[in-house]
C-alpha cells in the first residue's frame, strides 16, 4: 500500500546543505565508469587488432573492478573516505594513463596491456557505494532519504547511457586511447572535489566494535550476512535477467527480420522505463517495508520479462521492455536502501559494495548463459528463463525474509540512525 507524497521533493534533496556540490562531484567521478569499458575495448582492439585480446583484457579489468570492490569498500569504512579514496583514485588514474600510453599506437604486448588493466581495475574507488552511504549521513528524514537513493540510482543509469555517447563523440577527432585518459581525468578530478566537500570534513572512520585482537564481535558478521542476503539475492537475479535481455532482444529482431538498428531503441525503452520507475518510486510514501517491496519489485521484473517473449512484434516488445524497466531502478534502489539499513555503522560502504558486486556478477553470467541458450531453445522459452531468474531470486529472498522474521533476525527499519 502506498500514498502519493507531495513534499519533500527531489529538489529538497539537493537543498540539503552541501548535497548538491557533493553529489555533482561524485557523479563527475562516476562518469568515468560509464565511459571506461567502451574506451578500453576500442583502445585495445586498435592496439592489438584482436577482439579475443580486447575481450580478455576487458574481462580482467571488469573482474578486478567488481570482485575486489568489497575489499576496497572495507578500507573506506575503516579509514574514512577522505583518507582512503584519494590514494585509490590516484593509482587508478595513473594505471589508466599507462594503459592509454600502451594502447595509443598498435603493437603493444598483450600481456602488458592485460596486467595494467587488471591492476587498474583493482584500484577503482567504489564511489557509488560511498555516495550512497553518505546520503544516510546527509539526509536525516526517512522519506527524503528514499528520494535521495532514487535520485542517485536514476542519475547513475543516465551516466551509463551518456558515457558511451561521449566516447563516440571523442572518437571522431582523437585516438581511442584518449577516451581512457578522459576517464582517468574525470575520476581523479571528481574524487578530489568529492573528498574536499565540506560534508567530508565532518566524516570520520566508523567506530569499530572489536575485541582486543581486532576481531569483529561474535555474531556481528553473521548478522550482517543475514541482513544483506535479500538485497544481494535480488540484485544478482536482476543482473542475470537484464544482461540476458540485451542478447534476447537482438535475437528477437534478427529472427523476425527487423532492422538491427531498431534494437537500441528497444533497449532505450528499458532504460527510459527504469528512469521513470525510479523517479516514481522516490515520490511515493510506501506503507510496506523495504524488504517486502524489494521482493515485489524483483518478482514484477521477472514476470514482465518472462511475458515479453510472447510479444507478436518489435513494437509490442518495446512496450514490454518499458514496463519491465519500471521495476529495475525501484528494485535496485530498494536493494541498496535495505542493505544500508541492515548494516552496522562500521560496514555501510561494504554493504552497498556487495549489492553492486551482485548486480555486476549477474550481468556477466546472464550474457554468457543467454549466448549459450539462444539458437538451442525457442526464443520465448529463453525470455521465460531470463525472467524466471529474477522471479526465483525474488521468491528466495522473500522466503529468507519470512524466515528472518520468525526467528527474530529482523531489525527495526531506520533504527540505526536517529531520524
Q: How do the domains of the chain map onto residue ranges?
A: 18-201, 220-407
Task: Supply the CATH classification number for the domain 18-201.
Answer: 1.20.1250.20
How is residue 34 annotated by DSSP? Answer: H
* DSSP annotation of 206: P
Cell matching residue 84: 582512503
Q: How far is CA 266 from CA 96, 196, 249, in A?
A: 33, 41, 8
C-alpha span between 407 and 207 (Å, rounded): 28
User: pLDDT value at position 264?
Assistant: 79
Q: How far apart are CA 265 and CA 263, in angstroms?
A: 5
Quote the pLDDT of residue 341: 79
Distance from first CA to last CA of the chain, Å, rounded?
A: 23
3-state secondary structure of 218: coil
Q: Where are the alpha helices (DSSP H) in 171-206?
A: 177-195, 198-201
**Cell numbers for 63:** 573482474
Topology (CATH level 3) of domain 220-407: Growth Hormone; Chain: A; (1.20.1250)
Instruction: Profile the chain (419 residues) by mean pLDDT over runs of 10 residues.
Output: 52 86 93 89 87 84 89 89 93 96 90 94 92 84 82 85 85 89 95 88 55 47 69 90 86 84 83 88 82 91 93 92 92 87 76 85 79 86 93 85 43 33
CA–CA separation, 198 and 178 (whole Å) = 32
Count of Cβ atoms closer than 10 Å to residue 212 Cβ? 5
Same CATH fold assignment for domains 18-201 and 220-407:
yes
DSSP 8-state secondary structure symbol assigned to residue 347: G
pLDDT at 32: 93
Please indicate, yes or no, whether the overall pTM of this predicted structure exceeds 0.85. Answer: no
| DSSP-assigned letters across all residues of 359-392 | HHHHHHHHHHHHHHHBTTB-HHHHHHHHHHHHHH
280 contacts 4 by C-beta, under 8 angstroms: no
Amino acid at each position: 500500500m502506498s500514498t502519493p507524497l507531495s513534499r519533500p521533493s527531489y529538489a529538497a534533496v539537493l537543498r540539503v546543505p552541501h548535497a548538491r556540490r557533493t553529489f555533482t562531484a561524485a557523479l563527475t567521478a562516476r562518469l568515468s565508469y560509464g565511459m571506461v569499458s567502451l574506451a578500453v575495448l576500442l583502445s585495445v582492439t586498435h592496439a592489438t587488432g584482436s577482439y579475443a585480446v580486447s575481450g580478455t583484457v576487458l574481462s580482467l579489468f571488469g573482474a578486478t573492478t567488481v570482485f575486489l570492490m568489497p575489499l576496497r569498500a572495507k578500507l573506506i569504512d575503516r579509514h574514512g573516505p577522505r583518507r582512503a579514496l584519494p590514494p585509490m583514485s590516484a593509482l587508478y588514474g595513473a594505471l589508466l594513463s599507462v594503459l592509454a600510453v600502451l594502447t595509443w599506437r598498435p603493437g603493444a604486448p598483450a600481456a602488458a596491456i592485460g596486467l595494467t588493466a587488471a591492476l587498474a581495475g583493482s584500484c577503482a574507488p567504489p564511489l557509488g557505494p560511498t555516495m550512497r552511504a553518505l546520503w544516510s549521513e546527509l539526509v536525516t528524514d526517512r522519506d527524503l532519504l528514499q528520494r535521495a537513493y532514487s535520485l542517485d540510482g536514476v542519475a547513475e543509469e543516465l551516466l551509463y547511457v551518456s558515457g558511451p555517447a561521449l566516447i563516440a563523440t571523442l572518437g571522431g577527432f582523437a585516438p581511442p586511447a584518449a577516451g581512457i585518459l578522459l576517464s582517468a581525468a574525470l575520476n581523479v578530478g571528481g574524487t578530489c572535489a568529492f573528498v574536499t566537500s565540506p560534508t567530508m570534513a565532518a566524516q570520520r572512520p566508523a567506530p569499530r566494535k572489536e575485541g582486543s585482537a581486532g576481531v569483529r564481535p561474535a555474531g556481528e558478521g553473521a548478522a550482517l550476512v543475514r541482513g544483506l542476503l535479500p538485497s544481494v539475492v535480488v540484485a544478482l537475479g536482476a543482473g542475470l535477467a537484464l544482461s540476458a535481455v540485451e542478447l534476447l532482444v537482438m535475437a528477437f529482431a534478427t529472427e523476425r527480420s527487423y532492422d538491427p538498428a531498431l534494437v537500441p531503441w528497444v533497449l532505450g525503452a528499458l532504460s527510459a522505463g527504469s528512469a521513470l520507475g525510479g523517479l516514481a518510486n522516490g515520490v511515493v510514501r510506501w506503507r510496506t517495508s523495504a524488504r517486502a517491496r524489494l521482493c515485489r519489485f524483483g518478482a514484477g521484473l521477472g514476470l514482465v520479462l518472462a511475458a515479453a517473449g510472447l510479444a507478436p512484434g518489435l513494437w509490442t516488445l518495446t512496450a514490454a521492455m518499458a514496463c519491465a524497466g519500471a521495476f529495475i531502478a525501484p528494485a535496485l534502489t530498494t536493494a541498496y536502501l535495505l542493505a544500508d539499513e541492515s548494516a552496522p555503522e562500521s560496514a555501510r560502504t561494504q554493504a552497498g559494495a556487495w549489492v553492486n558486486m551482485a548486480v555486476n556478477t549477474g550481468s556477466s553470467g546472464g550474457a554468457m548463459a543467454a549466448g549459450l541458450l539462444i539458437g538451442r531453445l525457442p526464443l520465448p522459452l529463453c525470455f521465460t528463463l531470463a525472467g524466471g531468474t529474477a522471479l526465483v531470486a525474488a521468491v528466495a529472498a522473500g522466503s529468507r525474509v519470512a524466515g528472518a522474521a520468525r526467528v527474530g533476525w529482523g531489525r527495526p527499519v531506520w533504527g540505526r540512525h536517529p531520524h
